[in-house]
A and B are shown apart, each in its own frame.
Chain A
Amino acid sequence: SAVISQKPSRDICQRGTSLTIQCQVDSQVTMMFWYRQQPGQSLTLIATANQGSEATYESGFVIDKFPISRPNLTFSTLTVSNMSPEDSSIYLCSTPEGDTQYFGPGTRLTVL
């Protein structure tokens, strides 16, 4: 099964700043996804990180707010830009392997 790591595991940030979250997979994968889990809520898909092309965003999420990079088949970053307290969430990356979706441990972001 795919092993996924994320950095940082948690952070506390000031409003108006930006944070970049890294996601590393231990093997080359075609698809990578970014999810957000707001406090006490379920997971919501932010975007699909496409290697070699622009990310595909879900309704309600825009590139200016959540720019994503996918420089190769094992790595992706998600930036949370111009943060506000409403961005306080757990951000998770994931990848499917066969018929299963594997998730990273998540990055817990608190915005003050």
Chain B
Amino acid sequence: AQSVTQPDIHITVSEGASLELRCNYSYGATPYLFWYVQSPGQGLQLLLKYFSGDTLVQGIKGFEAEFKRSQSSFNLRKPSVHWSDAAEYFCAVGAGGTASKLTFGTGTRLQVTL
């Protein structure tokens, strides 16, 4: 069965600083990988996804993520964080290599200081 690990429960960065959120997955084949963001009181919004091809994927709001098969990782990055980026970030893997049933990591709460 697939699994996702987000080792950082809580991260605090200063506005304007760079950000990297870690995600490690366990899946037997090429995974379908996703990053979602959940702002307070909001639903889940898809930031970006990876299925195949270029291992560096661009998403919305200036986020990018890099798929590294050798490390089973799919870390999320942003070069300059804005205060509005404060939210909960979830990494997820699709079961059976699809976007259907998703297994989520435990999430990383991002706090941005001014």
Q: Are both chains from one complex?
A: yes
Which A residues are closer than 8 A to B by beta carbons? 31, 33, 41-45, 48, 92, 94, 96, 98-106
Closest to B42 in A: A105
Counting chain A CB atoms within 10 Å of each CB, the highest count among B34, B90, B99, B105 belongs to: B99
List the one stretch of B15-23, B43-51, B74-82 in contact with chain A: B43-51
| CB of B101 closer than 8 Å to a CB of A | yes
| CB of B100 closer than 8 Å to a CB of A | yes
> Are B99 and A42 within 8 A (Cβ)?
no
In the complex, chain A residues whose CB is within 8 Å of the CB of B102: 43, 45, 94, 101
> Are A45 and B101 within 8 A (Cβ)?
yes
| Also in contact, A31 and B100, with CB within 8 A (given A42-B106, A43-B90, A99-B51) | yes
| Also in contact, A99 and B49, with CB within 8 A (given A31-B100, A33-B101, A42-B104) | yes
| Also in contact, A101 and B99, with CB within 8 A (given A43-B90, A92-B43, A106-B43) | yes
In the complex, chain A residues whose CB is within 8 Å of the CB of B104: 42-44
> Are B43 and A105 within 8 A (Cβ)?
yes
Number of B positions contacting A (CB below 8 A): 21
> Are B100 and A104 within 8 A (Cβ)?
no
In the complex, chain A residues whose CB is within 8 Å of the CB of B103: 45
Q: Which 7 A-B pairs have the closest CB atoms?
A: A105-B43, A103-B44, A42-B104, A43-B104, A96-B99, A42-B106, A99-B99
Closest to B90 in A: A42
In the complex, chain A residues whose CB is within 8 Å of the CB of B67: none
What CA separation (Å) do A102 and B92 show in the bound complex?
A: 13
| CB of B98 closer than 8 Å to a CB of A | yes
In the complex, chain B residues whose CB is within 8 Å of the CB of A100: 46, 49, 99
15 A-B residue contacts at CB 8 Å?
A42-B90, A42-B104, A42-B107, A43-B102, A48-B101, A92-B43, A92-B44, A98-B99, A99-B32, A99-B51, A100-B49, A100-B99, A101-B94, A103-B36, A103-B43
In the complex, chain B residues whose CB is within 8 Å of the CB of A45: 101-103
